[in-house]
Amino acid sequence: MGNGILALAQAYEILFVAVLVILAVFLMLSLVRAIIGPRVADRIVAINMMGTQTLAIIAILAVMKQEGYLVDICLIYAMTSFLAVIVLCKVYMGVYRQRKEGKEEEEETEDGGY
């Protein structure tokens, strides 16, 4: 009976390592998406995706190593990642509005103010 539990623990260890490797590959692909864009919205979504993947990696490590403090770190990272995406969206919307208002003012001056 003890041998079966050991085999199950080894199977879980292999599964966790495989999932961590897959998540690391996806994290690198998300980084590529964040770099090449092409739009700012694509970059913001990629950064959010990277944060979520990092959360999953930390949670899996918490289960693998049986360390409870990693769950606390995971929660703190989740809040920080959420706030970072909100700030990025807010900044992007402000820049977008400024550009839109600037284009409207240019069109008004080209039309002679009418």
pLDDT at 113: 53
Task: Say whether pLDDT at 106 is over 80.
Answer: no
In one letter, which amino acid is 63? Answer: V
Average pLDDT, the chain: 89
Query: DSSP letters of 10-75?
Result: HHHHHHHHHHHHHHHHHHHHHHHHHHH-SSHHHHHHHHHHHHHHHHHHHHHHHHHHT-THHHHHHH
Task: Report whether the peptide linkage leading into residue 38 is cis, meaning its omega lies within 30 degrees of zero.
Answer: yes
In one letter, which amino acid is 29? Answer: L
Neighbours of 30 (CB within 10 A): 20
Q: Report pTM.
A: 0.78
